[in-house]
Amino acid sequence: MDKKELDTKISDYLKFEEHPHFLNDLQQVVENKNIEELNDRFYMNLEFGTGGLRGVIGGGYNRINPYIIRKSTTGLANYINKMVKDGSVAIAYDSRNFSKIFAEEAALVLCAKGIKVYLFTSLRPTPVVSYTVRKLGCTAGIVVTASHNPAEYNGYKVYWSDGGQIVPPHDVAIINEVNTVTGKVKTMNKEKAIEQGVLIYTDKLIDEPYIELVKSCSFRPELMKAEGKNLKVVYTPLHGAGTMLVERTLGEMGIDVITVPEQREPDGDFPTVAFPNPEIVDAMKLGLELARKEKADILLGTDPDADRLGIAVPDGEKYVLVTGNQLGVLLGDYIFSSQKESGSLNSKSAFVKTIVTTELQRLVAMSYGVTSYDVLTGFKYIAEKIKEFEKTGEKYIFGGEESYGYLVTDEVRDKDAVSAAFLTVELTLYHRSRGKSVLDRLKEIWEEFGYFEELLISRYLKGEKGKAQMSGMMSSMRTSPPAEFGGISVSFMKDYKTGETYNLKTGKKEKNINLPPSNVLQFVLEEGSMVTIRPSGTEPKIKFYASCKAEPGKALETSKKEVSIKLKRIEEDVDEFLG
């Protein structure tokens, strides 16, 4: 970008932005003559993608700030007004910096467009927005969050009337509307919006029914109330939005929750962690220390918007983190077995997972006679499947993804760490009542179906160069697919962008993938292991997922060593490819 174009973009942004913090933020970069930083802030517009926005907080078109929020919300409002008369939108936000400001900016733009807004007065988990959209019959929903990203990020996710994140045709149509918005954006005075009844604070309408919904997920409420007081639960919200609802739903079932004090209060700087993500060991460090001190039966951890759940459980004298794939196996097993015991499981029962989630979950579902479906990565596709079931007559009973996202009730249409935490505590209590630990049950499942283990390698590739590098990687893989990973021959390459499966042995291609096009490549190795490559849709990074297995019938330690060797060799190949 030449200097003239850059200067014009800077000048225009400074005219459109009204918030002093963001004006000063950009002015400082201009005064410091940091051309590289200015180019990064303006070489592109922050993309309103198929899920909404996510970006670094700051002044500029390639940053998230009040002007970008206003601009994006104007596009959304224009689309809503084209689709329905008297539209309404539910809005919530998490603990990130400027989340409340961004939520109010979005609300007042919608109000100015004649759209009624239901806004929470304080932070709420992401799944609560999904629930609110359905409960109040809203046209759409917005949650201001950047999920588990580092503190410099914030974002904005959009939901449609079914409670799921936007999917075709709404996503592309909203993007097109957003891209047409330029210049100053019309907004509304907050007091005037309240006075005219287009801005409604919604806490009382939602909190109680949502809490009752979570409690209704219990299969054994009597066990919870009778024995819950004897279960020691440590919890960390990682400075996020989960505290009130996790503590309250468990507390009302008689379970005392010990919350990590240093991480209990909301704080968008996330001072005790580099990444507020319960998938990461360092993020759970304080929780693990408190769990050891208290001799807890389980440690729970939720991310800032409380849609992801991580856990750790005792294993002798130490605590081990349970992976997202493993917790999905345990939750599925508990739900399927409980429904079978109650007689509510039938031929219409359905389970949904993503294409990068362990195949062990499918095997467990099949063993109970539950039909299993694969969808693309992203919980919106699980929500879309639930909506489809409403037409087919199938009954959704559980779904999840490897990245610590689970949904245990179809009254919500996004991953929900509150209800998942609630049911995880119950399954822990249930297995203990039968003389087993959570790990004991997991080992039994491995013995029956074989040992499975997964590996995720992520590489951040920021800026314009990083975007080009990711594009080059995917193109190279498509045109010259690797013959092997970790010394194991590749049998098939599945290209989810073209919908084709390529047989590397015969050279034949077959169009047999019935999912929406997505920039994902999956390599199926000859012994059944899989390697999947996917650029993130919300962050500047590329992800490599590996899943390896050992056949049942072997000693568990032998299987673990066999799988560990496979994964290590695959990781070495991926590292070499990434340079």
Catalytic residues, by residue number, are 147
Which amino acid is residue 245, in one-letter code? L
Q: What distance in Å separates the CA atoms of residue 389 and residue 385, rounded to the nearest whole number?
A: 6
What region does 431 belong to: left with phi over 0, alpha with psi -120 to 50, or beta?
Answer: alpha
235-274 burial code (b ≥16 CB/10 A, e <16): bbbbbbbbbbbbbbbbeebebebbbbeebbebbbebebbe
| Alpha-helical regions (H) of 230-344 | 243-251, 285-294, 324-342
Amino acid making up residue 349: S
CA distance 211 to 253: 11
- Kindly calculate the radius of gyration of the chain based on its CA atoms and give it in whole angstroms: 24
Run of H or E including 365: helix 359-367
Question: Which of 39, 102, 68, 21 is CA-nearest to residue 182?
Answer: 68
Residue from 326, 302, 319 nearest 232 by CA: 319
- Determine contact, residues 333/441, Cβ cutoff 8 Å: yes
Point out which residues pair with 117 in neighbouring strands: 89, 199
Alpha helices for 252-319 (secondary structure H): 285-294
CA distance 567 to 525: 12
What is the rounded CA–CA span in Å between residue 81 and residue 173? 13
Give burial (CB, 10 Å; 0-12/13-18/19+) of 340.
middle
Instruction: Show the tokens assigned to 145.
Output: 């969050």
Q: For the chain, what percentages of helix, strand and coil (3-state, to nearest 5) are there? A: 45, 20, 35
Q: Helix or strand or coil: residue 565?
A: helix
Query: Which residue has 């390896």 as its token pair?
Result: 548
